[in-house]
Structure 1
Amino acid sequence: MLNIVFLMGRLTSDPEIKTAEDSRFCKFNLAVQRPKRKNDKVAEADFFNCIAWNRNADVICDWFKKGDLITVVGTFRNHKYEKDGINRVATQVVIREIHFTGNRKEDSIAYDFSYDPEEFEEIFADEDVPF
């Protein structure tokens, strides 16, 4: 059987550490944009409920905040609970790996990779090369 999910999206709120007995965890929602179709003006997004435990929870809370782009690898789990006397099932992604993907949209930096040969000093001439 195979149950692996790869998601890249943005956090919808600031993650917070919580504790349950001897474990730490954080729950967060991840907004994952769908590919934009030809006639769509705006791309739709799916929202996934995620949970990370212990060290993964620490890393997410220490390094990520609302709007940050993150890539995660995890598994889908069904979480059964009762609310108002009705049995319910919620699907969540249990995070196994975290990958740093980039900065928040508004914090992104534009780098200039243009090349100007006048800015560089000539170290040796072609005639100085022995071959």
Structure 2
Amino acid sequence: MNNAILMGRLTRDVELNYSQNGKAFTRFAIAVNRIGEGADFINCVAWEKTAETIAEYFKKGQRILVQGSIRTGSYERNGQTIYTTDVLVSRFEFVESNKQSEKKYDDDDEFPFS
């Protein structure tokens, strides 16, 4: 089973991008506190409606809970292989109190706001 659930703070504002075939996506990182001291910085990727909603409603420093699967990959840069690890986000939750708090969203959900 490949399932990760993480809660952390966004390390920067989320930017919405589009793939060559027109699908919305975003890449962002969250800082997840360790027990004791320190934090881990986890890279995340979201697609389509999930990406659009996260990009619209979340800003740097806000807390978010994400659920998804861990994906690894690699690419070449300057003759060196760079290895990557990301969480492919399938669900997220608003953690901080606002008008949408305590709501959960899936990739398949129609969002109640636009």
For the aligned pair, the TM-score class normalised by the smaller chain equals 0.7 to 0.9
Q: What is the correspondence of 1:1-131 to structure 2 with a 5 Å cutoff? A: 2-20=1-19, 21-36=21-36, 43-102=37-96
**Distance across 2 between alignment mates of 1:10 and 1:75:** 19
Gaps of 5+ in 1: 37-42, 104-131
**Distance across 2 between alignment mates of 1:31 and 1:87:** 25
Letter in 2 for 1:31: A
Runs of 4+ more than 4 Å apart: none
Whose Rg is larger? Answer: 1
**Distance across 2 between alignment mates of 1:5 and 1:79:** 17
Equivalent position SS for 2:30: strand
Give the CA RMSD over aligned residues.
Answer: 0.9
Structure-2-length-normalised TM-score = 0.81
Q: Deviations over 1:43-94 (max 9, x none)?
A: 2100001110011101101110000000000111012111111222110111
Letter in 2 for 1:8: M
Equivalent position SS for 2:81: strand
Whose strand fraction is larger, Structure 1's or Structure 2's? 2
Aligned length: 96
Equivalent position SS for 1:35: coil
Letter in 1 for 2:45: I
Letter in 2 for 1:96: S
Q: State the shift of 1:35 in Å.
A: 1.3
Q: Deviations over 1:21-47 (max 9, x none)?
A: 2211011110000112xxxxxx21000
Whose helix fraction is larger, Structure 1's or Structure 2's? 1
Structure-1-length-normalised TM-score = 0.71
Letter in 1 for 2:6: L
Gaps of 5+ in 2: 98-114
What is the aligned partner in structure 1 of residue 110 from structure 2? Answer: none
